[in-house]
A and B are shown apart, each in its own frame.
Chain A
Amino acid sequence: MMLAKTPLTFIVNDRPVAVEVPPTARLSAVLRDQLGLKGTKVGCDAGDCGACTVAIDGELACACLVPAASVEGAEVRTVEGLANGAVSALQASFLRHGAAQCGICTPGFLVAAARLLEDNPRPKEQEVRDALGGVLCRCTGYRKIIAAVMDVGSNAPTAPELPKAGKAVGSSPSRLDGLPKVLGSDRFGADSFPKDALSLLVIRSPHWHAGFTFGDLDAFVANRPGLVAVYTASDIPGVNAFGVIPPFADQPALAEGYARFRGEAVAIVVGEKDAVEALDPSDFPIKWDEREHALTVAESKAAAPLHAARPDNVMAQGKVRRGDADAAIAASHVTASGSIETSYVEHAYIEPEAGCAWMDGDTLVIQACTQAPVMDRDDTARILGLPVEKVRILPTATGGGFGSKLDLSLQPLIGLAALKTGRPVALAYTRSESMMSTTKRHPAEMQATIGADAQGRITGMVFDGDFNTGAYASWGPTVATRVPVHASGPYFTPNYRAAARGIHTNGPVSGAFRGFGVPQAAVMQETLYDELAGKLGIDRLEFRLRNALRNGQPTVCGHVMESGIGIADCLEALVPHWRRALADAEAHNKKARHIRRGVGIASCWYGCGNTGIPNPSAIKLGITADGKLVLHQGAVDIGQGSNTVIPQICADALGVPLSAFTLTGADTAVTPDAGKTSGSRQTYISGKAAEKSGRALRETILRYANVSSDAEIGLDGGKLLIREGAASRTIDLTGLPADADGFVFRADETYDPPTVPLNENGQGKPYAVYGWGAQIVELAVDTKLGTVELIKITAAHDVGRAINPLLAEGQVEGGIAQGIGMALMEEYVPGRTENLHDYLIPTIGDVPPIETILVEVPDPEGPFGAKGLGEHVLIPTAPAILNAIRDATGALVTKLPATPSRVMEAIRATRGAE
C-alpha cells in the first residue's frame, strides 16, 4: 500500500522546484530521487547520524525525518547550495585541514557548520561541538573538522599550491580527490543508480539458526504487479560459496535450506522500485523452523558443528612458539596473569553498502562501494558461473570501510538479478540490514601470563585466545594467524607461546576490522605490562622502553631486522609528555575528591600486508600521445588517502610535479590489481609499486632521450621537455606510436613484499615491513558514576617517512576515535543494537585533543622509507585508556567496552578488595 502522490512546491538552494510525491515521503528521498541532489546522504534513516542534515527555513533538520508535506513553500538548503559557483571559505577550510576523509558525512557537517557560522563567525571549540554534535563521522576523529570550522575566518589561501617536482613526498597537499567531497558531488555507492533500475528486497533470516522452506513464490510475484521475480539459492548458476580466503570459502550468497545467523540472506525479490518499496518482508512466503543455536564460544563448544568439516566449531587456529615460555615464566622474578573479554564491534561506516549492476553485452558490470574490487570480481564471477573477464567491477567512492567492505555483500545479489533479468538492478542496504548482515570485529576471550626478571626485562609470555568468528569464516583465519604473531607487543620476548582460535557461533560473521584481532590482544598484553611495572616499582614508560624491541633482536617469530625498528623512538618521543601528564594528574588528584585523573600508556606494532603469503600490487602508468600522464591508481581510497599518497610517491619517483597526473581508478577492466585496501598495505605495497613504475617510466623516457639519470622531465601539452644542465631536448609525443591503452611511453611494475612463510611454530619472516607506535591517554574518572572524560591523547607513530603528514595525522586521529569507541562504548549485541542509537560510536564530544608526533625511522624496504599506519593507530588506544582508568582508580576493567556500569563495578570490586 502506498500513499497517493500529491504536488509539492518549495525552494531548494534558491531555486523553486515542483515535484509529485506522497506527502509522507522522506525529504531525503525527495531531494535525492526526485531532484537528483545526491549530496544529501542517507546513513541511517532514523536521525541518528546526521548525514542528511539540511537547513529548512534556516533551521537544521535530518531530511530523513521530515515529511515532504512539511516543506511546502519552505526554503531548503543542501550541501549543493553552499558553494554558489565557487568553493565557499568553509569548504576550502575543510579541504585545507583534511576534514573530509571518505567524505560521506561531509555534506551534513558542512550544512550544520554553515548554519553555525551564520550566527557565530568565530566559534569556540565548545560551540563547534555543540553545533555539530548531531553528525557522526567514523573516519576523522572529528579533530580536523573542529579545526576547519574554527579556521574559516583565517586568511589562509583557499587552495594551497601543489608541490613542485621532487617535493611531493613529505608535503601535505589537500587530498587530490577532495573537491567533490566538499562540494557534495562525489558519487558513492547509492548515488548513481540508473533511472530505470529494478529494485531489490533481500529476505533475511530473523532467527539465529533456522531451516526454511518457501511457499508459492510464483504466486507471490504474480499477485503483485511490478514484481519481476524471486531468486533463491537454486537460481545461483555457479558455486554458492564465497569467502575472502579461498580455502575457507563457506558463505552462501543465498542460504541453502537453512540459515546460520540472524540477517543471513535467503532470497531476493526483484521488481520495479515502487512495487518493491511497497513490500512488507513479513508477507514473503517462507516457513521457518528454528534450531538450537550458540552465540558464545562457551555455548558453541558444546554445540553441534556449524560446518561439518570443522569439528568442535574450531574454524582455524594460529600458533607461535619460541624458546620455553613456561620455564621462563616459572623462573621469573615477577609475573602477571589476567584475562580480558571484548565485544563485537561494528564498523559503522556512515555509508551502508550500496551499488547497482547491469549487463554490458555479455559482461556483468557492478558499480558499488568496496575495498577490494578484484576480490569482488573473482568471487562474484565464481558464484554466478561467469569467467572473471565477464565481470567488471567499477568502484564508486566508498564511504568508509575499515575492513568490512573487503567482503562481498550485495555484489552477488544485484549481479544475479541483473544477469537473470537483463535489466539494471540497484540496492542500498538499510542501516539495520548493513549492521545485521555484514562483518564485525571478533569478540575475544583471552588469558595471558607474562614474566619479568628483577631488572625489569621480559622473560617470557604465554597467550591464549578464543575469537568468536560467527557463522562463516570471512577473515577469521587471518585473525587466528595475526594475533599470536603480534600478541607480544613490540617488545623483545625471548620465550613465547601464543595460540588463537577462531570459533564458529551463530552470531554475526566476524571478519576484518582495523587490526585483525591485534587491538584485542594488545589490551591483554598492555594491561599486564602495567601490572608488572607496578610490581617491579618501575615507571610504566621506562618499563616499556627497557623491553622495546631493538634492531638486531628477533621478534617472537624469529624475524631479525637490522634496521627500521622504531618503537623505542616512539616511546622516547613521549617521555616529556608522560612526565608532564603524570605531574598534571598528581596535582589534580591532590585536591580532587571523586573526580580522579589518570594517565595510561600502551604501544603497538603491526606488520603491513598479508602474513607470510604473497601480496602483490601492480601499478600502470603511461603518457598518451597528447601528453596526458595517466596513473592507474588501483589502490581503492576509502578515505585513507591513497588517491593522494600513491601519486605523491609516483611523482617524486618519476620526477614530475604532482599536478601532472591524471588518475584512473580501480576499474577492473582497465586498471591492474593493486590489491585490497587492508592490512595497512597500500602506502607501502602499492606505493612501492608506484615508485617502481615511476622510476621505470623515468628510465624509459631518459633512455629514449639519451640523457643521463640526472635529467629533468617536463610535460608541456603534447611534448616532453628533457633538460640536462644547460642542454634541453623536446620529444614530440604526437609523432610516437601509441599502444592499445593510448600510451606512447608506459611502465607496468609489480611489487610483492619479500616474506618467509611461518613454519609450524610460527617462525619465519611474516612481513617485510612493520609500523610502530605508542600513545598516552590522560583522562578523568567520575568515581561515583563510573563515567570517563578523556582529556588528551598524545600519539607517537613511526611511519618511516610521512608521505603526506596531514593525511597521516588524519589516520592517527581517526584510528584513535575508533579505539575510544572500542574502549568505552561500542558493544554490538546481535538482535538488540542494530541501529546507530543503541549502538554508540563516538560523537564530536567524545574525542579529546590529540597531539600527533610523526616519528620517521626509515624502513629499508618501504617507498622513500615509508611504513604502513592505518591499523596501527587504533591498537594502543583501548589499552592506554584501560591503563589510565586503573591509574586513576586502581580498578582494572576486564570486559570491554568500559561502560560507566562496568567501570563502577570494577571500582566497587577494588574497594571491596581493599
Chain B
Amino acid sequence: MVRYAKPRSVDEALGLLADGEWRILAGGTDFYPALGSLPLKYDVLDINGLAELDHISETDDAFVIGARTSWTSLIRHDLPPAFDALKLAAREVGSVQIQNRATVAGNLCNASPAADGVPPLLALDATVELRSASGIRTLPLYDFILGNRKTARRPDELLTAIRIPTSATAGRSGFVKLGARRYLVISIAMAAANVEIEGDGRISAARVAVGACSPVALRLPALEVALVGCQADASVVGAIPNQHFAGLSPIDDVRGSAAYRIEAAREIVGRALLMAVGGRRAEAVAA
C-alpha cells in the first residue's frame, strides 16, 4: 500500500519528509498530468493542509510568497510595478482553472524549461527557502533549478517560500510570452525584464531573463550591463546586440526551430524592455 499524508503543520510535514521519500502534492496541476492513467506507485505528501504557507507578505527586506500561493492569489494581491511581469506571466499559466489551483512554488519545483514563472522571478532576483527537519537554507532561484525537471531540493526538504528582495522591486517590469495560440499554450520563448530608471531618464539597473530557450531559463548578464546608462525609451531596443544571447541553447522542436527561437528571443526581450521602460501594459502575448 502506498502512503498518503496530509499534515496540518510545516513541522509535521518536515518530520514526514525526514522519514522517507514522498511525492509532494500541492495544486495538482502537474501532479495529475504526470500520473496520467497509471496507478499511484509512490507515497504522497499532500501539503494542501498547510494554511501557514498560503500567504503573500512583506518583511523588512523582502516580499515573501508562501509555497501554497496560487497564481490567482498573486494576481489579486496588490504589489509594486516590479511585479507586473510576474503577474502578466501568472495570467498565462494554463487557464483560469489552472491559475486558481496551481502554485507559484510548484511551477519552480516542476522545473519545466518553459515554466512561465521562472523568467520573471529570475528578473526579480528571487530566492527560494528550503526547509527540512534539520534546518533551513536559502538558494538563489538560478541555483535551485538545475535542469529540465531537476532542482536542488533534497528529498527531505520542502520549498516553503519564495523571497523577492525589496531592493529588486524598485523598478518597472515587462513580460512577453510567444506561443502558437492565444490561450493554454506552452511558450516557444518568453522574456521578462525589470528596469530601474534614474531621474535623468537613464536606466540605472536592468535584469533580463529568457525562458524556453535553454534547459533552465537564463538571465542575460552582458545585456543587463550594456543597458545601464541607456535612455529608457524606444531606443533601448537598439542596445540589444546578438552576442548577448550567446548563452541561450534552444532546441529544434515542434514549437519552433532553434534559430527561430534565438531570433524571437531577441525580439521579445526588446518588447519586454519597451514594456518596462514605457511603464505601460502592452500585449503580453504574441500568438
With A24-B46, A785-B268, A787-B178 in contact, do A65 and B39 touch (Cβ < 8 Å)? no
With A2-B39, A69-B48 in contact, do A133 and B260 touch (Cβ < 8 Å)? no
Asked if B286 and A59 sit within 8 Å, CB to CB, the answer is no
Which residues of A are found within 8 Å of B48, using beta-carbon distances? 67, 69-70
Which residues of A are found within 8 Å of B264, using beta-carbon distances? 785-786, 900, 904
Asked if A24 and B40 sit within 8 Å, CB to CB, the answer is yes
| B 29-44 binary contact with A (CB < 8 Å = 1; else 0) | 1011100111111001
Asked if B180 and A900 sit within 8 Å, CB to CB, the answer is yes
Contact with B287, one of A1, A135, A787 (Cβ below 8 angstroms): A787
With A3-B4, A904-B264 in contact, do A432 and B254 touch (Cβ < 8 Å)? no
Asked if A900 and B184 sit within 8 Å, CB to CB, the answer is no
Which residues of B are found within 8 Å of A904, using beta-carbon distances? 260, 263-264
User: How many B residues touch the partner, as a band?
Assistant: 35 or more
Asked if B97 and A53 sit within 8 Å, CB to CB, the answer is yes
Chain A interfacial residues counted at CB < 8 A? 63
Is the contact region of chain A dominated by helix, strand, or loop, or is it mixed?
loop
Asked if B186 and A837 sit within 8 Å, CB to CB, the answer is yes
B48, B178, B260, B286 pick with most chain A CB within 10 angstroms: B260
* Beta-carbon nearest neighbor of B264 in chain A: A785
* Beta-carbon nearest neighbor of A789 in chain B: B287
Cα A64 to Cα B98 in complex, Å, equals 11
Contact with A786, one of B29, B95, B255, B260 (Cβ below 8 angstroms): B260
Whether B181 is near chain A, meaning CB under 8 Å from some CB there, is yes
Asked if B100 and A59 sit within 8 Å, CB to CB, the answer is yes
Whether A579 is near chain B, meaning CB under 8 Å from some CB there, is no
Asked if A845 and B183 sit within 8 Å, CB to CB, the answer is yes
| A 822-833 binary contact with B (CB < 8 Å = 1; else 0) | 001101010011
* Beta-carbon nearest neighbor of B178 in chain A: A785
Cα A499 to Cα B94 in complex, Å, equals 44
With A133-B183, A782-B286 in contact, do A50 and B97 touch (Cβ < 8 Å)? yes
In whole Å, how far is B234's beta carbon from the nearest beta carbon of chain A?
12
Asked if B32 and A46 sit within 8 Å, CB to CB, the answer is yes
Which residues of A are found within 8 Å of B182, using beta-carbon distances? 129, 133, 843-846
| B 63-102 binary contact with A (CB < 8 Å = 1; else 0) | 0000000001000000000000000000000111110110
Contact with A277, one of B1, B39, B268 (Cβ below 8 angstroms): B39
Whether B52 is near chain A, meaning CB under 8 Å from some CB there, is no
In whole Å, how far is A152's beta carbon from the nearest beta carbon of chain B?
19
Which residues of A are found within 8 Å of B58, using beta-carbon distances? none
In whole Å, how far is B27's beta carbon from the nearest beta carbon of chain A?
8
Cα A2 to Cα B184 in complex, Å, equals 32
* Beta-carbon nearest neighbor of B258 in chain A: A901
Cα A784 to Cα B274 in complex, Å, equals 15
Asked if B260 and A62 sit within 8 Å, CB to CB, the answer is no
* Beta-carbon nearest neighbor of B285 in chain A: A845
Cα A21 to Cα B287 in complex, Å, equals 42
Which residues of B are found within 8 Å of A295, using beta-carbon distances? none
Asked if B98 and A134 sit within 8 Å, CB to CB, the answer is yes
In whole Å, how far is A65's beta carbon from the nearest beta carbon of chain B?
5
Cα A432 to Cα B183 in complex, Å, equals 21
Whether B21 is near chain A, meaning CB under 8 Å from some CB there, is no
Which residues of B are found within 8 Å of A840, using beta-carbon distances? 180-181, 185
Whether A26 is near chain B, meaning CB under 8 Å from some CB there, is yes
Whether A61 is near chain B, meaning CB under 8 Å from some CB there, is yes
Which residues of chain A in 64-108 are interfacial with respect to chain B, using CB atoms and an 8 Å cutoff? 64-67, 69-70
Contact with A901, one of B4, B184, B255 (Cβ below 8 angstroms): B255
Whether B19 is near chain A, meaning CB under 8 Å from some CB there, is no
Asked if B36 and A900 sit within 8 Å, CB to CB, the answer is no
Whether B25 is near chain A, meaning CB under 8 Å from some CB there, is yes
Asked if B40 and A905 sit within 8 Å, CB to CB, the answer is no
Asked if B97 and A47 sit within 8 Å, CB to CB, the answer is yes
Query: Can you report 18 residue pairs joining A to B where beta carbons are below 8 Å apart?
Result: A3-B44, A47-B95, A48-B184, A61-B101, A65-B28, A65-B29, A65-B101, A67-B46, A133-B184, A134-B96, A279-B39, A280-B41, A824-B181, A843-B181, A843-B185, A899-B255, A901-B188, A901-B260
Give the interface of B toward A (CB within 8 A). 1-2, 4, 6, 25, 27-29, 31-33, 36-41, 44, 46, 48, 72, 94-98, 100-101, 178, 180-186, 188, 253-257, 260-261, 263-264, 267-268, 286-287
Q: What are the 7 tightest A-B residue pairs by CB atom distance, in nearest-first order?
A: A134-B95, A845-B182, A133-B183, A901-B256, A901-B260, A46-B33, A843-B183
